[in-house]
Structure 1
Amino acid sequence: MNKTLYVIDGYGIIYQSYFAFINRPLLNPMGQNSQAVFGFFRTLFEFVRTKKPEHCIVVLDSKTPTFRHLEYPEYKAHREETPQDLYDQIDVIESILEKLGVAMLRVNGFEADDLAATLAVACPKAGFRCTILSRDKDILQLVNENVSVLRGKNQELSGEEWSRENVHESIGIWPEQMVDYLALTGDQSDNIPGVMGVGPKTAVKLLSEYKTLEGIYEKIESVKGAVHDKLLAGKENAFLSRRLATLDNAVPCSCEPSSFQLKLDTKSALPMFVQQGMKSIVQSLGGYTPASGTQATKEKDSKGKADTDDATVETVSSGGTVSTPGGSALTSTRPGTFESILSEEKLHKIIKEATAAGIFAFDTETDSLDSMQAELVGMSIALEPGKAWYIPIQSSGTNCLPLDVILAGIRPLLENPKLLLVGQNIKYDYKVLHHAGLTIKTRLFDTMVAAWLLDTDAQSTFNLDDLAEKYLSHKTIHYEDVVEKGSLWNLSHVDLQQAADYAAEDAD
């Protein structure tokens, strides 16, 4: 099969783009939020440039409740309502896609993933391979010899196409086991319950031995200990969760791959990008730019740096100092500086010290920029300069403390109104912890808000990396220094000490 249909999860990129710029919103000349529009099309055009697709379609979620909502009203019910300024941008994105001539598909009652599944079935019959661009875990159930998944980091869509072997190497199961895996673990982002008390490691172990959900329950008596009891108590939820996680590959729609040929009509779309004030996109498409003195958006990348900023900083991994183009020296954290907490005794000791101090810095590590979908990977606490700890929740090859033990241990600290918590973009941490069942009740000092109050210049950036360089002359460990760019991995997949150095440094 020489032809490939690329299927793009539209809302996935839209949401990722919006939340990637949440700390520094982008506004168009009309004063309206435009970060989802900018991020989506920057991602789309970079994808077209690198992959040069001949056939492509953007699949979109239903505007009405789906069959999953009808079976399980709690499905995705925990999510906050879509921000109005994000919702307003969806129509703009669809209008520009129409002008560009990019095929779109939406079927009310079904999710974008169901449409991707239907197209994945249709492609081989038409002599096409299918590559799906999505970061959703459940989409991995579709991977086979004719279907791959391209999973980029944040808004990016570059990187390796995931095969069956990639899925197994990363998660420990085969694609056809993914629905059974989600039946056991649940999916916090979709509010799929799973079996209470069964986590990823246990699910992988069970599926390695029994292969399927039916296989587990057929031989339930051979499962020992607490897991046996949890499986029995959660049997109904397990099969419900599998139904919710299983993608419908027979959605009634027109899905002939050859009809989705991509021929970008950039000329027709240019005026809309000009209207949005997206100067860099207009230039990249070979169009004119607004005249000097007209209002235009100053687009920034996910790190908050202007597109025209040529400043560079040398990356170091051995600690010490580095030089910037301006000649100033920056300090950097040496590897092995910070410690991980893997015992209840140590956890309680640090919580006691933080409580006695009255003030502490705190940060969370997750697997997503979207606070509504993010799952906790770890937490960090710092009490004084150079003294910080990382509490891993998920870490490959490490016996982490159970999440319920960690939450129980840290709850008295985060719910103590007499204490002062220092953090960066605390709203994000608040939402993530709230979804995990813990509400921050301390007094708060947000360094991002404080930085903005000190410097409200429209061209300033307020991400932690830039603030550390500006105010502390410190070169931080960047996420890409620890987790390979474009991979499916997150902080839970890397060496624990590397994760601790990165995460605890943020708190420090």
Structure 2
Amino acid sequence: MDKWMLIDGNSIAYRAFYALPPLTNAAGQHTNAVFGFTTILLKLLEEEKPTHIMVAFDAGKMTFRHEGFAEYKAGREKTPSELSSQFPLLKDLLTAFGVARFELDGFEADDIIGTLTRMADEQGIETLVVSGDKDMLQLASDQVTVALTRKGVSEVERYDPAAIKERYGLEPLQIIDLKGLMGDTSDNIPGIPGVGEKTALKLLHEHGSVEAVLEASDSLKGKLKERVENHQDDARKSKELATIYREVPLEHGPEGMKYDGYDGAVLAGAFRKLEFRSLLERLDLPSGAATVDEAAGEQPELDVVTVSGAEELEALADKLSEVQSLLVEAVGENPHHAELLALAFAMGEQVHVVSAEVLASEAAGPIRDWLADPKQEKRGYDMHKSQLALSWQGLELRGISFDVQLAAYLLDPTDPNHTLNGLTHRHQLPIVAADEDVYGKGAKFKVPGQEVLYPHLASKAYALQALHAIQQEELEKSGMHKLYYELELPLSSILAGMEKQGITVQSEELNKLGSEIESRIATAMQDVYAHAGTEFNIGSTRQLGEILFEKLGLPVVKKTKTGYSTDADVLEKLEPYHGIIPSILHYRQLTKLQSTYIEGLLKEIRQDTGKVHTYFRQTIAATGRLSSQFPNLQNIPIRLEEGRKIRKAFVPSEAGWSILAADYSQIELRVLAHISGDPGLKEAFIHNMDIHTKTAMDVFGVSEDQVDGNMRRQAKAVNFGIVYGISDFGLSQNLNITRKDAARFIDQYFDAFQGVRAYMDNIVKQARDDGYVTTLLERRRYLPEIKASNFNVRSFAERTAMNTPIQGTAADIIKLAMVRMDEELSARKLRSRMLLQVHDELVFEVPQDELETMQTLVPEVMESAIELDVPLRADVSYGANWYETK
């Protein structure tokens, strides 16, 4: 028996966008709306098992409704580019799912769905309509159930005619009358002013329809009578506008909606592109490349030599000079806790595989010596992780001359699949199986026996030889040879050394801070109760909503299907209205500190070292920035004093030493001044002016002494917004101003700094001509979407073109400083150690007798890392712990 499922694409995407936190992939593309939509789609597919599916979208701004009412939806703000840029991604994903989508000029998604539900009624087909829009309730019937999203998009509430009757006391078609009386501000449907849902329901329960209410206006009293009589045309027009049109001339009817399920390989490819790793795991889809491409060729018959005894070890030792590539196989995402399985040494089609156990044996001494010899070149894959995994076994890996994973990242930083499986597909080489296919994943993960494992490792080691040759040529052609060999590759080993060194974190200090925060949480809780006049569960959205909007009468900013929204954006908008809001925000900040940072860091202190050993990833961020994991030490909050105090627990590992920190001052804006050549920006930095004050002066047209705190705050937001490609929507959210004001502010900025505007225009043109942009050190980022016909996709690529050279150059500069700093520490035989890189800051531990030297040396190296038209500035400070360095 057929079962249809009709989804309101715009409505569900919109709700997902606002319900989920910001989410981006490696390319910087926003994906939260797509992720939320996909989550509910998968849930519905599993629960409903439909035979036919269709997702309807609005085709454009103008519909037939505008012909009779030009103001229809006129008050609605332009869709944020952060959301509109996701619609092409969503439509591509639906194609990967094998799900039909309909859209038609002049009509809305509601009308398409309405037409199909009429067909369902006529043919007696069970149908589910999924939307976030209450208007859809008018379509409910014996055959049609309407599911409205609630709790963002995680759940739906189902309405058939009986449920509508129970909830509203109305028949489905009377929902149109309800909208006619109360209107809808989101669609600019006027209704009757002053008539809300409660009054509208009362009138309908008594009279039954808009027309009947208007006819009975004489029986009404007071202001209600006056409003009804004065707005009869508005009520009729509103009902008309709210009525879903059910005669849309569809090119494709039900036959185009048939759903036969998805192709796992195709859907896996789409999920990988979007970087929806959790969904790959949920559906047990391959996270490597998609199906094997026959053109890539089959794996040759490799001579796999299992090295298990003294004789095989001696034979391998004699042939080490012939090794073309080295594979270190360690399983586990965190290299500090990874299990070292084996090493594979490839010499053409012969591959020797040595288990970790054999490698630790006395007879393997020559092999270990070769690994540690810096003069013996090693080419491999993810050599950063390899160094760490070996070092925790007491083994050294030196002499790294090439890393295939690092080269793949540099050659295309936005490609989400730099696995050997993916790379062999891309370069038409003999296919290496995806690790997930060999080990399984999640709960099914298991290391196979040698008869399966060793051939897999051999094929990986064999592939590295061909990939090395291909990538060498590509690095030369792209102009990134120097960047790779003089920056990224040496940095990889420097990072491994820093990570193995770790940073000492005092658990007793964290526990002490935790107790203080617990006390502050209790105080903040009492503050909230005092303002509320009662005790309640602050963590309960429902209870908090009742206190704020019913008991205290604060203005409702946003409602969800389950009640009032109390998310951070809502609370920030309410802050001026009542003293309870700052107390709630403070309470939330403190509880987050306690759970995420105090308790989280305590779990990460390694018992055998008393240190935290983070893992810096070079191959994640498309801009070239390092990412920190296990734990992430780059996101410890420092704007809140209680958060800053967490740094007190970070101390030197040796008595009498100090923590020294140096950070670049406004490096991205200095890079912008250099790249754009804007005279105003350059003047500010050359004369050491406060750049945010300078910006405020130029944007607002005032003198320095006229710049107040609010002007400087707004100027600062715009300065950093320009660097990060912020939209008027993003700036309006940051400054809590209207999008119109934000857009005007951005225009004023570009009028004041015309060199920046010229740079932005020129870099977009260059990206369109070349297909990519570069940093000052020639790091490339390809932007194929910059020629897209879709405006939103193209706009995103244009913003990326503008900000990538700035952010990428800033990332390159601090990396360069790290490489130079490592060279200086070694050349001067200093005992000081570089421990961390956090955004634009470098952290060291320094013995007392080297403090004076390091206070001069570190900023000197950082400021001379690269020569710009404006001076670089690094501020240095030291103390007994990381907190005291500020």
How far apart in 2 are the matches of 1:459 and 1:14?
31
Amino acid at match of 1:46: K
Matched, 1:210 2:372: no
The Cα shift of 1:379 comes to 7.1
Pair 1:252–1:157, CA change in 2 (3 A) = farther
2:749 match: none
Matched, 1:281 2:279: yes
In the alignment, is the contact (CA less than 8 A) between 2:268 and 2:287 conserved in 1?
no
Question: Where in structure 2 are the equivalents of 1:395-474 lying within 5 Å?
Answer: 425-426=568-569, 430=573, 457=632
DSSP-derived class of the 2:199 partner? helix
Of residues 234, 239, 244, the one that matches 2:241 is 244
Question: Where in structure 2 are the equivalents of 1:71-90 lying within 5 Å?
Answer: 71-90=68-87
1:380 match: 548
2:48 match: 51
The Cα shift of 1:17 comes to 1.4
The Cα shift of 1:392 comes to 7.5
Matched, 1:141 2:138: yes
How far apart in 1 are the matches of 2:88 and 2:222?
53
How far apart in 2 are the matches of 1:109 and 1:248?
11
In the alignment, is the contact (CA less than 8 A) between 2:192 and 2:234 conserved in 1?
yes
Of residues 31, 35, 47, the one that matches 1:34 is 31
Amino acid at match of 2:197: P
Pair 1:69–1:149, CA change in 2 (3 A) = same
Show CA shifts across 1:160-195 (max 9, x none).
531112112222322111111111101122121110
Amino acid at match of 2:8: D
DSSP-derived class of the 2:3 partner? strand
In the alignment, is the contact (CA less than 8 A) between 2:19 and 2:153 conserved in 1?
no
Amino acid at match of 2:133: D
Amino acid at match of 1:284: R
1:13 match: 12
1:391 match: 553
Show CA shifts across 1:190-226 (max 9, x none).
1211101112121111111111111112222122222
1:116 match: 113
How far apart in 2 are the matches of 1:147 and 1:7?
10
Matched, 1:125 2:122: yes
How far apart in 2 are the matches of 1:140 and 1:235?
24
In the alignment, is the contact (CA less than 8 A) between 1:56 and 1:102 conserved in 2?
yes
Matched, 1:91 2:91: no
How far apart in 1 are the matches of 2:576 and 2:250?
44
Of residues 262, 268, 280, the one that matches 1:270 is 268
How far apart in 1 are the matches of 2:8 and 2:142?
21
Pair 1:288–1:106, CA change in 2 (3 A) = same
1:163 match: 160
TM-score (norm 2): 0.36
The Cα shift of 1:245 comes to 0.5
Which segment drifts farther, 258-267 or 93-102? 258-267
How far apart in 2 are the matches of 1:203 and 1:338?
37
In the alignment, is the contact (CA less than 8 A) between 1:141 and 1:178 conserved in 2?
yes
TM-score (norm 1): 0.61
In the alignment, is the contact (CA less than 8 A) between 2:110 and 2:244 conserved in 1?
yes
In the alignment, is the contact (CA less than 8 A) between 2:12 and 2:132 conserved in 1?
no
Structure with greater proportional helix content? 2
The Cα shift of 1:74 comes to 2.3
Q: Which runs of 5+ in 2 are unaligned?
A: 290-332, 334-381, 383-404, 406-414, 418-441, 443-517, 557-565, 598-627, 647-886
DSSP-derived class of the 2:176 partner? helix
Show CA shifts across 1:431-472 (max 9, x none).
xx8xxxx99899x9765997899989599799xxxx9xxx9x
DSSP-derived class of the 2:246 partner? coil
Report the structure number with the largest CA radius of gyration.
Answer: 2
How far apart in 2 are the matches of 1:160 and 1:237?
31
Of residues 230, 235, 240, the one that matches 1:233 is 230
In the alignment, is the contact (CA less than 8 A) between 2:7 and 2:130 conserved in 1?
yes
Q: Which runs of 5+ in 1 are unaligned?
A: 298-307, 309-327, 342-361, 367-376, 382-387, 395-422, 472-508
In the alignment, is the contact (CA less than 8 A) between 1:425 and 1:448 conserved in 2?
no
DSSP-derived class of the 2:11 partner? helix
Pair 1:154–1:76, CA change in 2 (3 A) = farther
The Cα shift of 1:132 comes to 0.4
In the alignment, is the contact (CA less than 8 A) between 2:150 and 2:157 conserved in 1?
no
Which segment drifts farther, 88-97 or 286-295? 286-295
Q: Which has the higher contact order (CA 8 A, sep 6+)?
A: 1
DSSP-derived class of the 2:265 partner? helix
In the alignment, is the contact (CA less than 8 A) between 1:339 and 1:390 conserved in 2?
no
How far apart in 2 are the matches of 1:112 and 1:37?
18
The Cα shift of 1:103 comes to 0.7
How far apart in 2 are the matches of 1:7 and 1:441?
43
In the alignment, is the contact (CA less than 8 A) between 2:59 and 2:103 conserved in 1?
yes
The Cα shift of 1:87 comes to 1.2
Show CA shifts across 1:465-498 (max 9, x none).
xx9xxx9xxxxxxxxxxxxxxxxxxxxxxxxxxx
User: Aligned pairs, how many?
Assistant: 360
2:175 match: 178
Amino acid at match of 1:59: A
How far apart in 1 are the matches of 2:636 and 2:49?
33
DSSP-derived class of the 1:226 partner? helix
How far apart in 1 are the matches of 2:212 and 2:141?
22
In the alignment, is the contact (CA less than 8 A) between 1:3 and 1:127 conserved in 2?
no
Instruction: Give the 4+ runs in structure 1 shifted more than 6 A.
Output: 291-297, 328-334, 337-341, 438-442, 448-456, 458-462
In the alignment, is the contact (CA less than 8 A) between 1:141 and 1:175 conserved in 2?
yes
The Cα shift of 1:118 comes to 0.4
Pair 1:31–1:390, CA change in 2 (3 A) = same
